[in-house]
Amino acid sequence: MTESPIRLLLADDHPVVRAGLRAVLETEAGMTVVAEAATAEDAVARAAAGGIDVVLMDLQFGRGMNGAEATAAITARPGAPRVLIVTTYDTDADTLAAIEAGATGYLLKDAPPEDLAAAVRTAAAGRTILAPVVADRLLDRLRAPATALTRRETEVLTLVAEGLSNQAIGARLHLTEGTVKSHLARVYAKLGVESRTAAVATATDLGLIRR
């Protein structure tokens, strides 16, 4: 008896990327691409319609919902497909958001084709698959928790890097200005810095935020 193929949804706003993924995966035995989505919203809707085993999800879609938000929406439904993040971004801010949203795996777009196929099979089986650089960084966080930023601290520092004031950050994240200052104070202490500029530079060097 032949096993049913793994049914895939490709979610990426770049047609060339989707075409590349399709070309790689459709040469693999036991896999079939049944749908594509150019926006995160379309990916959520198509996943909800059923008939999908694994969603290959990018993280950035320009305007609208991002990949982590779409992942959370997809995985929140009963009987949801697995979500495998396939992206160019490997910072803590990206990986943690995606994993917390329910992603089964996290792969970088420069992965070899055989790694992509293996990751799809691993995700379809319900097992976690992480790109080596991502796995290493998560292990580093566990080994040195004192320097690890919380998700909220990462969000605040990311907005600092975009040039927003404490007041503007508070408005964006629905926090008081005092709470923003408290988050920044903890960030400074963890990173061993004394200024916004130094915090952004250090966090960028460590791969904690993306610039």
- Set out the domains of the chain in order of their start, with CATH numbers: 6-140 (3.40.50.2300), 145-205 (1.10.10.10)
What pLDDT does residue 1 have? 43
Q: Which two tokens stand for residue 63?
A: 């305007």
- Give me the tens of pLDDT residue by residue for the chain, a chain 211 residues long: 457 899 999 999 999 999 999 999 999 989 999 999 999 999 999 999 999 999 999 998 988 899 999 999 999 998 999 999 999 877 777 887 888 889 999 999 888 989 999 999 999 999 999 888 788 777 766 666 556 788 889 889 999 999 999 999 999 999 999 899 999 999 998 888 889 999 999 888 887 887 6
Strand partners, 148: none
Pick the closest to residue 84 from 11, 3, 15, 28 (CA basis).
11
Enter the DSSP assignment of 37.
Answer: E
- From the CB of residue 95, how many other CB atoms can be counted at a distance below 10 Å? 26
Nearest-angstrom CA–CA distance, 41 and 63: 11
What pLDDT does residue 90 have? 73
Enter the DSSP assignment of 59.
Answer: S
